[in-house]
Structure 1
């Protein structure tokens, strides 16, 4: 299917599986979606190419039958909060921007939900190493300005013991969404206490940080993303984390088609992470619209959950919806499986310049998570 992401054709960026997190094609952004073939490209006559593109653009909305059985219990609202870590903290936010620390660099990016005034004086913000300028939309294009000195495109980061590369992308994302730490810590705990190797499916997996966290904890991981550039970036991160021998399958594919094939194969997973874009394209120009396709995606994910599954996680970025919409969809999807559906928002707490001064909580995304108990 979101990561989701959430997100584009130049550099890997925000979250993906059908390509990018938004129509700017991205969950995810500089995820590098595969663009539909242009008219007349690769030897195809313009008319044939146009017909093929129109077929790819067709959106077929699927209405699912009501499942039988009782709906799972519920916990709402649930706020999953992320504070500082070894490589990240939210220093301050306000006036439509956020000031963050990523490893050695202090960066400024647009943040529409930072409606309040800044806490720290302007001279602190002006000392940032990198500032994103341009389109302030979640996945709008722009460029980075480096006020102090020119910086390289990538730099090393580490979260939960996993090393990976940060990257200044053209879509303001930097290769990781640290608010997802709340889900990753939960996943790592489940893998640690399972007493058996768990199988994890990471849909719209972007740069692979979640996949590497799962693999480092001992899981067998299947990572799916429609962007070749995102997959390449994820493999770089795998090498950087010294997890070359870890059991990870890197699959560049359309997320929906992959899941439907897994249903036919009878495959089963213990944990499924899905971080879909609100709009994107798959490897062959397949169109993804969150509100049209999400119900079927979740339905198919349920079909490949193992009998002793530990959880199904859905995250969504940059959508005009309530977490309650996803909450009720998840409860309907999981009818008859028992357990609990907990839904709410992922937030990041400001930590100040010293990393130890709690401030305001910045909401980043919506989530819904089914767990067996």
Structure 2
């Protein structure tokens, strides 16, 4: 299988300014921050960076460490991507309350949906992806185990002028919710899922990616049919190959027809145009 690279290009409210020596400098609206980045093994373009804060972390990709911020950084601030508005914030998990490298996936899905298509966003976090699809007329089921994330998603919807859009905000364990949807006989035009390496559900359920992903993908496929349009899987921070998740998706969707593609996700650096890899992906697209 040929592997592709999905590239996030800079936009008005986000850009990878520079990277190197295990760190990266990014701009989020009017603020710039430095975060650890083990894959930036090269030298940076500039010897010093001007920034508004830096995350100094432990080696654990899922947490540990803390932000050291200048006094001018507020608790949150507004950003936008195309017709979606939302708030960024410095979280204890080193990210900024959304994942900018998902932008090419959002655009790809938006090109495939039609008004009133029903789509599901599993591990939907603060809802930027859900709003990107709702803005194009999709009916969205947004699922995340974190009440705080779902409440932030609702706040983002209101801020974006989409409080009245048909979005079901579900605080639930993604695996259990998907299994219930299968039993209900539901069908979706598209599903996207961005599972963590490890997580806990709202009532203490434990999620481990390598153990839970195959069964979850099987249930997701049971919610699709030959009229469905996509299934998008992105995976971060694991020792796993794009070829592995592509084969998982290819086998699971064999009876649906369509095509599977896979590869890496990357962000283009503004300083030199080089690509910083961030994640792997596999996605199925049905016949349209």
- Normalising by structure 1, we get a TM-score of 0.75
Correspondence 1:83 to 2:6: no
Correspondence 1:93 to 2:12: no
Following the alignment from structure 1 to structure 2, what is the Cα–Cα distance between the partners of residues 89 and 137? 24
Residue 334 of structure 1 is matched in structure 2 by 253
Residue 88 of structure 2 is matched in structure 1 by 166
Q: Is there any run of 5+ residues in structure 2 with no aligned partner, and where?
A: none
- Normalising by structure 2, we get a TM-score of 0.97
Could you give the per-residue CA deviations for residues 131-168 of structure 1, whole angstroms, max 9, x where no partner exists?
Answer: 11132432222222224x33211011101211100011
Correspondence 1:155 to 2:77: yes
Residues 150 and 86 of structure 1: CA distance in aligned 2, closer, same or farther (over 3 Å):
closer
Could you give the per-residue CA deviations for residues 48-89 of structure 1, whole angstroms, max 9, x where no partner exists?
Answer: xxxxxxxxxxxxxxxxxxxxxxxxxxx520111111012101
Correspondence 1:181 to 2:103: yes
Residue 244 of structure 1 is matched in structure 2 by 163
C-alpha contact (below 8 Å) 2:226/2:256 kept by paired residues? no
Residue 115 of structure 1 is matched in structure 2 by 41
Residue 232 of structure 1 is matched in structure 2 by 151
Q: Which SS does the other structure have where 2:63 is aligned?
A: coil
Following the alignment from structure 1 to structure 2, what is the Cα–Cα distance between the partners of residues 338 and 134? 44
TM superposition shift of 1:171:
1.5
Following the alignment from structure 1 to structure 2, what is the Cα–Cα distance between the partners of residues 158 and 372? 30
Could you give the per-residue CA deviations for residues 247-272 of structure 1, whole angstroms, max 9, x where no partner exists?
Answer: 00000001011000000101111110
**Structure 1 residue ranges (4+ consecutive) displaced by more than 3 angstroms after TM superposition:** none
Residue 223 of structure 2 is matched in structure 1 by 304
Residue 370 of structure 1 is matched in structure 2 by 284
Q: Which SS does the other structure have where 2:254 is aligned?
A: coil
Residue 52 of structure 2 is matched in structure 1 by 129
Following the alignment from structure 2 to structure 1, what is the Cα–Cα distance between the partners of residues 44 and 190? 39
Q: How many residues align?
A: 287
Residue 264 of structure 1 is matched in structure 2 by 183
